[in-house]
Structure 1
Amino acid sequence: MDQNVREELVNLMPRLRRFARGLTGCAEEADDLVQAACERALTRHHQWQPGTRLDSWLYRIIQTIRLDQLRAAATRNRHLDTIQAEHENQPPTDTHMETNLSLERVRNALQLLPEDQRSVIMLVSVEGYSYREAAELLEIPIGTVTSRLTRGRLALDRLLHSNEPEPACVQGGGS
């Protein structure tokens, strides 16, 4: 892998971390996921075709690793417990606190969505990709992107306007 590609990989890190965070809902898990994806990309760099989009290749690697992790967890029947966000019922003391709580509510609600809807929402609504670009990145038809995005947004709206508890990032073994 030449130096220009390595530099491009480094420049993509914030976007990769955001995408992984949206998929996992937890910063620590997202960092582990990005690290695994980068390791896979570096050890299998010969599989990337120069002239194609490096970001697309890396997003697919992240998504594949994440799906593998979810399948492995299901096979072992290990399900993560969900907990309510701390101080959920306490009123915010200032605008910054209110913004953080709102963002946390959205992150938590996002975790309740199916993985396919979450991936599309992260690419289109967070990363700013067009529907066509998201379809190419996920290797699905554009109509599927539109459908998943619509269903995901409607589900998020319902979750954010309900009084149901939402999951928080489950941290294992301390921080």
Structure 2
Amino acid sequence: MDDTTALHEAIAALLPRLRRFARTVTWNREDADDLVQLAVERAILHSRQWQAGTRLDSWLFRIIKNAWIDEVRARSRREQLFAPEEEGEHVGDDHAEAHQQRLAVQKAVSLLSDEHRLVVGLVLVDGLPYKEAAEVLEIPIGTLTSRLARARAALQELLSDQARTVT
């Protein structure tokens, strides 16, 4: 098996993690799928830029992060609004309460700043170590930890506000 085939197989094996990260960043299934497709295309097109022996997942997460930043900038230039995923998708489901909780968390995360959503996606959702997440975001580890602390505090506040408005 040549190096190109091995790289393509390694990328394919990472697709579920890439999609999970993209969903965390975008909070829209279609945008996430488009973002992963774009990232994989860029990775294959620029595969010579990846250095063997380094973490492929970190490289791909960085591509996703940069592609999302590009997309958000393009959307703001076009003055387009993007709506959250439809919230009534599973109305009447037997697991309505769990679904309600998931929606509350999704809504709270969607209200975070892009910086905080990226940190939450990499560390809390995908489980990347702080060092790796800092490398993906190209920030010092201290900045990552402070952003994560602020993101957790903001999430806790948002979720407690939502709980107070429901009761």
Q: TM-score range by the shorter chain?
A: 0.7 to 0.9
Distance 1:81 1:13 in 2: 25
Q: How far 1:10 moved relative to its partner?
A: 0.6
Is residue 62–residue 136 contact of structure 2 (8 Å, CA) maintained in 1?
A: yes
Find the counterpart in structure 1 of residue 87 from structure 2: 85
Find the counterpart in structure 2 of residue 122 from structure 1: 121
Find the counterpart in structure 1 of residue 66 from structure 2: 64
Q: How far 1:86 moved relative to its partner?
A: 2.8
Structure 1 runs (4+) greater than 4 angstroms displaced: 81-84
Q: How far 1:24 moved relative to its partner?
A: 0.4
Amino acid at match of 1:156: L
Find the counterpart in structure 2 of residue 155 from structure 1: 154
What is the aligned counterpart of 1:6 among 5, 8, 33?
Answer: 8
Report the number of matched residues.
161
Amino acid at match of 2:20: R
Find the counterpart in structure 2 of residue 55 from structure 1: 57
1:47-82 CA-to-partner distances (Å, cap 9, x unmatched) read 111111111111111011100000111112222356
Amino acid at match of 1:24: T
Q: How far 1:163 moved relative to its partner?
A: 3.6
Distance 1:64 1:38 in 2: 13
Larger helix proportion of the pair: 2
SS in 2 for 1:161: helix
Q: How far 1:123 moved relative to its partner?
A: 1.0
SS in 1 for 2:161: coil
Superposition RMSD in Å: 2.2
Amino acid at match of 2:124: S
Is residue 27–residue 85 contact of structure 2 (8 Å, CA) maintained in 1?
A: no
Q: How far 1:137 moved relative to its partner?
A: 1.9
Q: Pick which of 77-86 and 16-25 moved more.
A: 77-86
TM score, norm. by length of structure 2: 0.87
Is residue 25–residue 117 contact of structure 2 (8 Å, CA) maintained in 1?
A: yes
Q: How far 1:85 moved relative to its partner?
A: 3.0
Counterpart mapping for 1:86-101 below 5 A: 86=88, 94=94, 96-101=95-100
Extract unaligned runs of 5+ from structure 2.
none
Distance 1:15 1:128 in 2: 10
Q: How far 1:152 moved relative to its partner?
A: 0.7
Higher RCO structure (Cα 8 Å, ≥6 apart): 1
SS in 1 for 2:149: helix
1:86-145 CA-to-partner distances (Å, cap 9, x unmatched) read 39xx8x875x32212211211121111111111111111111112122112222111111
